[in-house]
Structure 1
Amino acid sequence: MDLANILRDAARAEALPRFRRLDASMVHVKTEAIDLVTEADVATENVIKARIADWMPDALFVGEESVAADPALLTALATADLAVVVDPIDGTANYAAGLPLFATMASVVSKGETVAGIIYDPMGDDWFIAEKGAGAFLRRPDGEAVKLKVADALPLDQMVGTSSVAYMPAESRVEVLTNFAKVRMVANYRVAGHEYRAFASGHTQFVCFNKLMPWDHLAGTLISQEAGAYAARLDGHPYLPSHVSGGLLVTPDKASWDLLRREVFTF
């Protein structure tokens, strides 16, 4: 729980006090209007980085805002013996808009493999936590732990899931949006952490993404797999920390994955 408590302490010290108190000077566009960074993102990451430097001094720190300043960190992740990957505020657009749906996430990568993942919800004050081979759990500050399990598979027309076409190839967006009519419902929360939380706790049948920055997906994918999910890139190969493109589809089982890939995510 050391890493979990680091995330909680940082979010409570830096993100929550600034929530709904940002002015225009504290919010900046990074690459486009839907890609934002706030004063709170930077401050929260700085606290996490300093705490991890004391706790795991030999680990490479790969934070979203650190990579924005030094892109070489992302390349180093693929060959690092030990790394901690952090998203200080996942769902920054929600956070900046005053919407109470954002998360603080971290994963531990050892020799190119994700071995631990945490998604902390500052508003709900609890964590989804997984260690490779040890299952996935909802953990609360009082010590209570609830084992996570993905939903049972459903027919295509009854599936509920989360996805976005924002980073899919432009020429495929209309086709994929049309294909969404084949399932019961598709939502997009603009925060990967909570989309993974909904999936890993059995409330949706799929999550799909195209852009694969490690701070957005390593923790959620491991948590989902430890809760019983099947996960693969859209070419059918395993998702690894070094991947930043190629799409990712996570479902309750391989049959659901094959069905959704064939009928819905056809790009």
Structure 2
Amino acid sequence: MADSLPIPLTSPLSPAQKTSLINLVRRAAKAEILPRFRNLGQGDIRSKSNAHDLVTEADTAAEAMMARGIQAMFPLALVVGEEAAATNPELKGKIGEAELAFIIDPVDGTWNFANGLGVFGVILSITRFGKPVFGLLYDPLADDWISADEDGPAELTRAIGTTRPLTVSDGGDLGELAGFTHYNYLPQEAKPGVAKALPKLGRAMSLQCACHEYRTLARGGADFLFSGTLNPWDHAAGILICQRAGGVARMLNGDDYTATVSDGYILVASNEATWEKLRDHFAFLLDDAKA
């Protein structure tokens, strides 16, 4: 079968391969994630780096199922799951060298999920030598997904079979902008300056779930995302999707984003003018880094 062979490295996924990959994610959600939602026992939730960095049995079981399926379909690919990388940090460092890498966040928004809040999702990205070439943001509760590849539009697809293209917002002046900031995850030395900058924006918030933050951006419901936490499983898919929906995504210093970047700040905005306004607004962070 065609899905048992590695994909051609010079072309995007075929429609059949996309369907197989999306169906794998949906099966994993139905088998391993949804049955555990609001049904986790005390022993099913553990802490990783701190008391708020959680992992559940749903994370590990769903990641294992998806990793097995991807490896069967694409045997030459590198598969990097968030939970696998937590126990084997060297995996993350291999992304930039891989001709084909699949990056999985099996339950994005684990804190929400573990506390019974319905704002969680599955994120899957494909990269070539660190450059995102396919992104998927899946909502298990709604059973719908937003996806894009490097050459096509960002699209929302529902389980009933309808698909529609997505477009980012029109942006605007600083005082009108609504968006997402990951303030709690910023370096401690950056927090005082960012705390002073945020009230000048229209609305700065966090859903504690990059999957739904990027989905909201791609659908035009928010104007920006600003983050200093650069885990590739959080950003690679959403950045590509927002770019294909008409948005602009670069590092705050102007560099292009790749899944290999581990330091700095990512800034995603609805258009170039809005990105530049936000870049100027947060430019003090670049000066602080040089000091």
Question: TM-score normalised to the size of structure 1?
Answer: 0.97
Percent identity between the aligned chains?
Answer: 39
Q: Report the counterpart of residue 148 of structure 1 in structure 2.
A: 166
1:245 CA drift (Å): 2.2
Corresponding position of 2:11: none
1:226 paired to 2:238: no
Structure 2: how far apart are the matches of 1:54 and 1:263? 47
Structure 2 CA distance for partners of 1:164 and 1:111, relative to 1, 3 Å:
closer
Which residue identity does 1:234 align to in structure 2?
L
- Aligned match of 2:132 in 103, 114, 130? 114
For the residue of structure 1 that corresponds to 2:97, the secondary structure is coil
What is the distance in 1 between the residues matched to 2:98 and 2:282? 36
Aligned-partner SS, 2:49:
strand
Alignment correspondent of 2:179: 161
Q: Distance in 1 between matches of 2:41 and 2:263?
A: 33
- CA distance in 1: counterparts of 2:172 and 2:84, whole angstroms: 41
Aligned ranges for residues 174-253 of structure 1 at < 5 Å?
A: 174-253=192-271
Equivalent residue for 2:121? Answer: 103
Q: Which residue of 2 aligns with 1:30?
A: 48
Q: Structure 2: 5+ residue runs without aligned partners?
A: 1-18, 286-291
Cα distance change on mapping 1:266 and 1:123 into 2, 3 Å: farther
Hey, what's the Cα distance between the residues in 2 that align with 1:60 and 1:164?
29
CA distance in 2 between partners of 1:38 and 1:213 (Å): 19
Distance 2:223 2:244 in 1: 15
Q: Which consecutive aligned stretches of 4+ in structure 1 deviate over 6 angstroms post-superposition? A: none
2:99 is matched with which residue? Answer: 81
Summarize deviations over 1:92-130 as a string: whole Å, max 9, x none.
000000000000110111233211000100011100000
Please tell me whether residue 125 in structure 1 is matched to residue 143 in structure 2. Answer: yes
The two structures, once aligned, show a CA RMSD in angstroms of: 1.1
Q: Distance in 1 between matches of 2:91 and 2:261?
A: 14
Q: What TM-score do you get using the length of structure 2 for normalisation?
A: 0.89
SS at match of 2:185: coil
Distance in 1 (CA, whole Å) between partners of 2:190 and 2:149 is: 36
Q: Offset of 1:167 from its aligned partner?
A: 2.2
Indicate yes or no: 2:58 matched with 1:44.
no
Aligned-pair distance for 1:197? 0.5
Separation of aligned partners in 1, 2:29 and 2:42: 21
Shift of 1:5: 1.2
CA distance in 2, matches of 1:178, 1:188: 17
| Matched pairs, number | 267
Q: Write the deviation string for residues 233-263 of structure 1: whole angstroms up to 9, x where unpaired.
A: 1111011011122110000122211211222
For residue 266 of structure 1, report the CA deviation from its aligned partner: 3.5
Tell me how far apart the structure 1 counterparts of residues 225 and 130 of structure 2 sit (CA, whole Å): 23
Letter aligned with residue 85 of structure 2: V
